[in-house]
Amino acid sequence: MTSRTPPEDVILIPKEFLSLSTLKGIVERYKGNRLEALQRDPNAFSSTYGRESQFAYETWLSRLENPLSKTFVAVEDKDPTPEQNIYNPVQRLLESEWLGQATLLGPKVLPQEGAETSKPWQVFSGTNLSEGPDFKTLGNAHATYLIVGVFVLPDRRRKGHGRRLIERALMAARDEAKSASAARATVGIIVESGNNSARRLYERIGFKIQGEELAVGGSEPLPVIGMTKDIDIESEHPVFGVCGAVAQ
């Protein structure tokens, strides 16, 4: 089975690097992009710039090394070459402008509908996200993922970068769930209640509102909406919705 080719301008941050200096460079780029997101869109995240700006290097590193997370970056190459585009994603991450990013958490087993934790955001809430996935438990099970930390630079929105980030994450979830012989796969995403442009983007890609308003965050929880998309593991093109005008 052949799946759709991943977009060339969206790169998965690898888990292993050839040198410590390269690793540090990627961590610093990731940190800078995340902090910029928290500064520019403070109401879109359950965390804050003030909190995360105090994180030590080890905290940022642990996020990228987390076996349950995959972080994708939308990049813009200054002077791309065919060799750079195809064979050297790390070089592109170091040298290109980061336009946005999104993180895919998972997989975990989704309990049957009606259980207390039957939605992706419930499965990942309060769990130990530093433990690697047990792929043996996914055989013939319902695999679930959660997309978090979606951000595109304000001046680069409405150009399709947000859509391509989400689609790339969905492709990764589909491929992993299929390789683990899961019976089904569902991906969740959480959107701020007032962020209508992002909600419409997710709906175009195929996410559906679950009809419940959640509250996430610390002392002042954000009102957010949970959305999910079921992935057809066996389909050749399982993750793409109707692509109209995009918000991010």
Average pLDDT, the chain: 83
pLDDT surpassing 70 at residue 140: yes
Q: What is the mean pLDDT of residues 91-99?
A: 91
Burial of 236 (0-12, 13-18, 19+ CB in 10 A): exposed
Long-range contacts from 21-24, C-beta under 8 angstroms, 24+ separation:
22/90, 22/94, 23/61, 24/57
Residue that wins the pLDDT comparison between 80 and 161: 161
Distance CA 152, CA 154 (A): 6
11: nearest Cα among 83, 91, 106, 66 = 91
Q: What is the end-to-end Cα distance of the chain in Å, rounded?
A: 30
Domain 10-231 CATH superfamily: Gcn5-related N-acetyltransferase (GNAT) (3.40.630.30)
Residue-wise pLDDT for 47-92, tens only, equals 899 999 999 999 999 999 999 999 999 998 666 555 545 568 898 8
Q: What percent of the chain has a predicted confidence (pLDDT) above 90? A: 53
pLDDT surpassing 90 at residue 121: no
Residue-wise pLDDT for 206-223, tens only, equals 999 986 666 665 445 567
**pLDDT grade for 134, boundaries at 50, 70 and 90:** confident
Q: Which of 44-48, 197-201, 237-241 has the highest mean pLDDT?
A: 197-201
Give the pLDDT confidence score for residue 239 in this predicted structure: 54
Give the pLDDT confidence score for residue 233 in this predicted structure: 87
